[in-house]
Amino acid sequence: MGQKGLISYADTALANFVWKCIENESLPKINLSQEQISFSSPKCLGTERNSKLSIFLYNITEEITAKNMISSFSLHYIVTPFTGNEKNDHVLLEKIIENLSAQPQIVKTDENTVAVMVKIDSLSLDDLSKLWIALGTSLMPFLSLTVSSAEPPLDLRAQATLTAAIPQAPIVDPNHNTHLYKVVLQAFNEQISGWRNRNMFIKQWMLQDFQKTTGMTVEETQSILNRLGDKLDHRESTTQFIKPLNQLTAYYQHQLDELKGLHKLTHKQTENIETIAIWINDVKALVEGLTRDNLNLK
């Protein structure tokens, strides 16, 4: 997905995804149609006669990605239902969450277009407060989502096309490894970004715990992951990255064990356990893919 038309494309893809999540939901006293989905601010929902759900773009951020990735931007939306019935609003949000609870979703506007990745974007209480103050309206039930490119780099797509045209022994799909890498990188960067927004004491403890468990600083790990992206871009050996990735897996396992050791888990802590388990599986899948790929490069 190029930068031209990025926002309009993401709008359409996200609106289609949201509609597919809720279109079959039977709700009392409401006839919801796709035409009632608005891209206006939640503040405008009460004044727009036909609008019953807002998908509002409130922020655009540049990702910390490896060189030559096809998109370096993430689009941040809030999805706010306004059916006139709070229970119905909650049901609509619940249906979207159900589709995103296990893992990010890859969606398209149609079969002939590139894909985008949709995932839940958790906001801190401070960010949440600032957002709704900026919107100039009272807090309403909502869900924050991030849309980013799921399309592999152009040079890898060209390599895959060339490889398919030449008879040879089957090899692991480099595009799949690149997609896994992007998922792992995004999860790591989002976690580190969350740490840096914590108070000084907690942030320092988390950074030290990470270094003690992995033997690497956060900055060293980010640099290693960025270099891995460059190697994947150029289809070069990635053997030297297997050990750091395994160390990252060990840290996620350390986090998981710490959470599971708690006597009473909050709903948020239970969600964190599920999220970290997904991170572990993603890194392990990437390690397996890179290992097979490196064997084929020899």
pLDDT for residue 240: 93
pLDDT for residue 109: 58
Q: pTM for the whole thing?
A: 0.49
pLDDT for residue 160: 39
DSSP three-state, residue 106: strand
Sign of CA dihedral 281, 185, 215, 255: negative
pLDDT for residue 259: 80
Do the Cβ atoms of 284 and 248 come closer than 8 Å? no
| CA-based nearest residue to 77, from 126, 107, 39, 115 | 39
pLDDT for residue 263: 67
Cα separation, 123 vs 139, whole angstroms: 14
Structure tokens at 290: 């890179």
pLDDT for residue 5: 65
| CA-based nearest residue to 246, from 274, 224, 272 | 224
pLDDT for residue 122: 77
pLDDT for residue 150: 60
Tens of pLDDT, residue by residue, the chain (298 residues): 445 567 888 888 888 888 888 877 666 556 678 888 888 888 887 666 677 889 999 988 865 443 333 346 788 999 998 888 888 888 888 888 887 765 556 666 555 556 678 888 877 778 888 888 888 888 888 988 988 876 544 443 444 343 444 344 444 455 788 899 999 999 998 888 888 777 777 788 888 889 999 999 999 999 999 999 999 888 889 999 999 999 999 999 998 888 887 766 777 778 888 889 999 999 999 999 898 887 876 5
| CA-based nearest residue to 63, from 180, 151, 152, 149 | 149
Structure tokens at 7: 């926002």
Residue with tokens 């799909």: 173
pLDDT for residue 292: 86
pLDDT for residue 171: 41
Do the Cβ atoms of 82 and 42 come closer than 8 Å? yes
pLDDT for residue 153: 42
What string of DSSP letters covers 30-90?
A: ----GGGEE-S-GGGTTT-TT--EEEEEEEEEE----TT-S--EEEEEEEEE--S-HHHHH
pLDDT for residue 185: 93
* Close Cβ partners of 237 (under 8 Å, ≥ 6 residues apart): 231, 294, 297
pLDDT for residue 267: 74
